[in-house]
A and B are shown apart, each in its own frame.
Chain A
Amino acid sequence: MRTRPRYLPLIEAEPGMVLGTPVRVTRQGQHRYSLPAGHRLTGDNLRQLAAHHAEFIFVAEPDSRSDEEVAVDAANAAHRVLDIFSGADLADPTLAALFDQVLAYRSA
């Protein structure tokens, strides 16, 4: 099944969610707790993360949208990004690079 990336607060995370990126909790430079990308979270993992004051995690969520819905969502997102950057001079390489990354992020 297709997945889509999403950051979410730990309080919204649930057992069974799959990590999109590794989690590595450090405090004052010291490694405290880590989980690899692709790991399916358990209730115990969530309690451990909460106990170590982790706040946000990155999960790969199942994406049940049809291809058509994905295309419509991407078009709407792109339209809003173009609106926000409508007064920007995209000949400026820094501005163009920011625009490209925001557009790619919104299209994911």
Chain B
Amino acid sequence: MSKPCITRDEVLSRADELPAFPRIVVEILATLDDPDASLALLTEHIKQDPVITARVLAMANNAAARTRRLSMVRDVFTATSLIGVGRVRETAITTRVGHFVAGGVGSGRGMGFWRHSVAVGVCSEELAQHVALRTPGDLALVAGLLHDVGQLWLSRFRPDTSHESWNEALAHNDGIDVVERERFGVDHAEIGAWLAEHWKLPTSLISGIRHHHDAGTESDELLVPLLHVAEVLSNALDLGRRAENRVTRISSTACSRLGIVWDENIRPLFGRIEARSAHATSIFRHE
């Protein structure tokens, strides 16, 4: 007998069994338009977070070595001036979301899930820059890191059926969202959107998560086509080398809305995405 459909109430009632969603990410997203507030928030948070502090100092000392700076960098202020606020913010976001994912994902798929999330985050940022989208890079990064958070919920609370869904999707070349709707009455994109609403993430990010498999939908949010194309591209380039990397469709409407043309001029973007993804995965491989 098949299990009843997953409902929004069920998803939210069990959301509290997941690790607490990192408030620093919500706060960073809320202050993206205010660089002074963003810097103050970052500095205050990092001072209390030894993991992020260690990573930021390591990156700064690496940069210092390349510029022949002789003294060791020991404080976050100097480190920030060396590597830039953007890199520090990116490190804080990825570190905290990485811990959240590591604590929430069920056994077996953890590393593959995280690699894919990082890859789509990098793709989203690079695509946004490529098409000169006005979406802040950090919002695109967070959207990519969280786009499959509904799968995290499924692998935690419906691990067997979730695993079977992947096997069925791969065996029949179906989209995972299609198989999930047949088995659960809802797909991971919708579940992820419910969670994002629960965590009070920005509306554009919620829309992006909800429609990343259905980017032809009517939406004013450019994060929707961005996230859709980023995930397709991440799979097409085989980022993370996952068995699940498959391309069955792409929304031409999404490509048109972003102004993306798939000709030979796109190949340098492929190279950049691949290099950044490998680099980011190596930095955050212990998440």
Is A84 at the interface (CB under 8 A from chain B)?
yes
B108 at the interface (CB under 8 A from A): no
B66 within 8 A of A: yes
Contact of A84 with B252 in the complex, beta carbons under 8 Å: no
Residue of A nearest to B245 (CB): A84
Chain A minimum-CB-distance residue to B271: A7
Contact B83 A53 (CB under 8 A): yes
Q: Is the CB of A53 within 8 A of B87?
A: yes
A100 with B262: CB separation less than 8 A? yes
37-94 of chain A: CB within 8 A of chain B? 46-47, 50-51, 53, 55-56, 58, 80-81, 84-89, 92-94
Contacts of B259 in A (CB 8 A): none
| Interface residues on chain B, number (Cβ under 8 Å) | 38
Once A50-B63, A84-B235, A102-B236 are accepted as A-B contacts, the answer to whether A7 and B249 lie under 8 Å apart by CB is: no
Question: With the chains together, A72 CA to B174 CA distance in Å?
Answer: 30
- Chain B residues closer than 8 Å to A105, beta-carbon distance: 267, 270-271
> B66 and A47: CB pair below 8 A?
yes
Please name all residues of chain B whose beta carbon is closer than 8 Å to the beta carbon of A53 when the two chains form the complex.
63, 83-84, 87
Does A6 belong to the interface (CB within 8 Å)?
A: yes
Chain B residues at the A interface, C-beta cutoff of 8 Å: 62-63, 66-68, 83-84, 87, 173-174, 232-233, 235-238, 245-252, 255, 262-264, 266-268, 270-272, 274-276, 279
The residues of A that contact B255 with a CB separation of less than 8 Å are 94
Instruction: Pick from A5, A9, A93, A97: contact of B271, CB below 8 A.
Output: A5
Tell me the A residues contacting B by CB distance below 8 Å.
Answer: 5-11, 21, 46-47, 50-51, 53, 55-56, 58, 80-81, 84-89, 92-95, 97-102, 104-105, 108
Please, could you name 6 A-B residue pairs with CB atoms under 8 Å apart, sorted by A? A6-B271, A11-B62, A47-B66, A53-B84, A80-B238, A102-B270
A56 and B67 contacting across the interface, CB-CB below 8 Å? no
Q: Is A98 touching B262 in the complex (CB atoms < 8 A)?
A: yes
Residues of A within 8 A of B272 (CB): 7, 56, 58
A56–B232 Cα distance when bound, in Å, is 23
Assembled-state Cα–Cα distance A98/B255 (Å): 11
Q: Which residues of A contact B235 (CB under 8 A)?
A: 84
Most interface-central of B83, B235, B262, B266 (chain A CB within 10 A): B262
By beta carbon, the residue of chain B nearest A87 is: B173
Return chain A residues, CB-CB under 8 Å to B275: 6-9, 56
Which residues from chain B contact A95 at a C-beta distance below 8 Å?
247, 249-250
Q: Identify which of A51, A87, A88, A101 contacts B264 (C-beta below 8 A).
A: A101
| B-chain residues with CB within 8 Å of residue A89 when the two chains form the complex | 248-249
Residue of B nearest to A89 (CB): B249
How many Å lie between the Cα of A51 and that of B267 in the bound state?
A: 27
Q: Knowing that A9-B275, A46-B66, A101-B267 are A-B contacts, what are 14 other residue pairs whose CB atoms are under 8 Å apart, sorted by A's residue number?
A: A7-B275, A10-B66, A21-B268, A47-B66, A50-B66, A56-B272, A84-B247, A86-B173, A87-B173, A97-B262, A98-B236, A98-B247, A98-B262, A105-B271
Let me know if B238 and A104 touch, CB within 8 A. Answer: no
A99 partner residues in chain B, CB cutoff 8 A: 236, 247
Whether B248 pairs with A87 at a CB distance below 8 angstroms is yes
User: Once the chains bind, are B247 and A9 in contact (CB under 8 Å)?
Assistant: no
Q: Which residue of A lies closest to B261 (CB)?
A: A97
For B84, list chain A residues within 8 Å (CB). Answer: 53
